[in-house]
Amino acid sequence: MDGLFALLAAPPAVLVGVLGGLALALLFHWLAPTGTDTASAGAWLVGLGAVAGLLWQWRFPKDKQK
């Protein structure tokens, strides 16, 4: 449980994921055909980017504890 709180207290990884998801959402909005619901797709991409940032921080922590 302490590991989860440590992940949530480290926002840089989440911020990078959110910015990556936002970039993908903007690209999707720009390339999607007219009439496509880009708002919900963009929200999903930003959310998945945040989760990817958390998973990256969890998998590759900066301080290696042995």
Query: Per residue in 8-51, pLDDT tens?
Result: 666 787 888 889 999 999 999 999 998 888 999 999 999 999 89
| Element at 22 (helix H, strand E) | helix 11-31
Length of the chain in residues, anyone? 66
Domain assignment present for residue 55? The answer is: yes
pLDDT recorded at residue 24? 94
User: How many whole angstroms separate alpha carbon 65 and alpha carbon 2?
Assistant: 14
Domain assignment present for residue 64? The answer is: no
pLDDT recorded at residue 1? 62
pLDDT recorded at residue 31? 93
Domain assignment present for residue 44? The answer is: yes
User: How many whole angstroms separate alpha carbon 22 and alpha carbon 44?
Assistant: 10
- Indicate the number of domains in the chain: 1
Output the CA torsion sign for 16, 12, 14, 19. negative
pLDDT recorded at residue 23? 94
Domain assignment present for residue 65? The answer is: no
Full residue range of the structural domain in which residue 42 is found: 2-59
